[in-house]
Copies of this chain bind each other. A is one copy, B any other.
């Protein structure tokens, strides 16, 4: 029988509509296996809580309180934008982490975040072996963009997809109502830095040819201004109005984002925005009729409305605690909800991200000709519907 160890859970990066549902799933699953897992500690403000030994003992909470996490907005224990650097750059920080884990008899490390969190799991796993402090590092996926490697559907995405599909439909109905005398071209800018899944979700707003959205701009297809403006003009001529969903990551053929503001965030990612405005200005120059910009808004996209399917998905464990070999688990596909873990070593440069995405060319055509659309619909529909 394995040594009974405690677990540590932390949230990382921007919170999603369902990140606390994942916390709920981790804690409730641990409670079902009290023979193997002792206490579950949660880091206050994410990984910072481990580095500073500022942890919450979730065992002191009632079952009802833990169950309520499924419906709790925000990040229940606090999240953090804090990326541990490479082992060669700041080995001391990893060693501190492992020392804290050893001090609190922590043998399971659940890290709820995106690609950077998966990377941290991998490094902790590597170092803990070297330090002879066996820690099973489990990455719990969380990324609205739905672009984590080896992960087929990412908790958080379903709610964003639902929001974008509904917003596209609503905006289209409004624009259609007034196209005769007012706005003819409506541009909805949505999230998705390198992956077009969120933009693709806008495609669920319509079915038949001629229904909005008429054009979807993906990050995976280089922007062709001439073809784009031609299509806009044709759509306005044929249908009186044109609705465009554009990913914030839409880019020129040379890879520059349509609106690269030149700023980077704490993770070194470029800060985007304003793509819709550039597109609309380009359109105005052609005199193709009145236009209007709509930003779906970052916060509404992340938070409202929650997809029940997404919430359930976020709380669904794919692995059982106490399993020894995470790599074997990965190969068996018995992981925390479809997550590939331990993650592949990952270099976060843009080209790598793009090239991995370009292997999926079927996803990146304009809406009407989008051959993968039916497949995507099947995949999304449960999330969108509930």
Q: Which residues of A contact B (CB under 8 A)?
A: 11, 14-15, 45-46, 48, 73-75, 78-82, 166-167, 169-171, 173-174, 176-178, 180-182, 188, 266, 292, 294-300, 302-305
Contact = CB atoms under 8 A, between A and B. Distances in A.
Contacts of A73: 169-170, 173-174
Contacts of A174: 14-15, 73-75, 299, 302-303
Among A15, A180, A181, A303, max chain B CB count under 10 A is at A181
A367 B177 CA distance: 37
B74 A176 contact: yes
A307 to B, nearest CB: 14
Contact of A81 (B11, B48, B170, B181): B181
Contacts of A298: 292, 294
Given A302-B174, A303-B174, A181 B297 contact: no
Nearest to A176: B74
Given A45-B178, A75-B174, A292-B298, 15 more contacts: A11-B177, A45-B180, A73-B173, A74-B177, A75-B178, A78-B177, A78-B180, A166-B304, A167-B299, A167-B300, A167-B304, A170-B304, A171-B299, A294-B299, A297-B300
A296 B294 CA distance: 10
B182 A266 contact: yes
A79 B177 CA distance: 6
A81 B171 CA distance: 16
Contacts of A188: 299
Contacts of A170: 73-74, 299, 303-304
B14 A180 contact: no
A182 B46 CA distance: 12
A80 B297 contact: no
22 contacts: A11-B177, A14-B174, A14-B182, A15-B178, A45-B178, A46-B181, A48-B181, A74-B173, A74-B174, A75-B174, A75-B178, A78-B178, A79-B178, A80-B180, A80-B181, A81-B181, A81-B182, A171-B303, A294-B299, A297-B297, A300-B300, A304-B305
A73 B170 CA distance: 7
A182 B82 CA distance: 8
Nearest to A186: B299
Contacts of A75: 174, 177-178
Nearest to A183: B81
Contacts of A74: 170, 173-174, 176-177
Nearest to A302: B174
Contacts of A173: 73-74
A80 B178 contact: yes
Given A174-B14, A297-B294, A182 B80 contact: yes
Contacts of A181: 45-46, 48, 80-82, 266
Nearest to A297: B297
Contacts of A266: 181-182
A291 B326 CA distance: 39
A74 to B, nearest CB: 3
A304 B304 contact: yes
A173 B15 CA distance: 10
A54 to B, nearest CB: 10
Among A188, A304, A305, max chain B CB count under 10 A is at A304
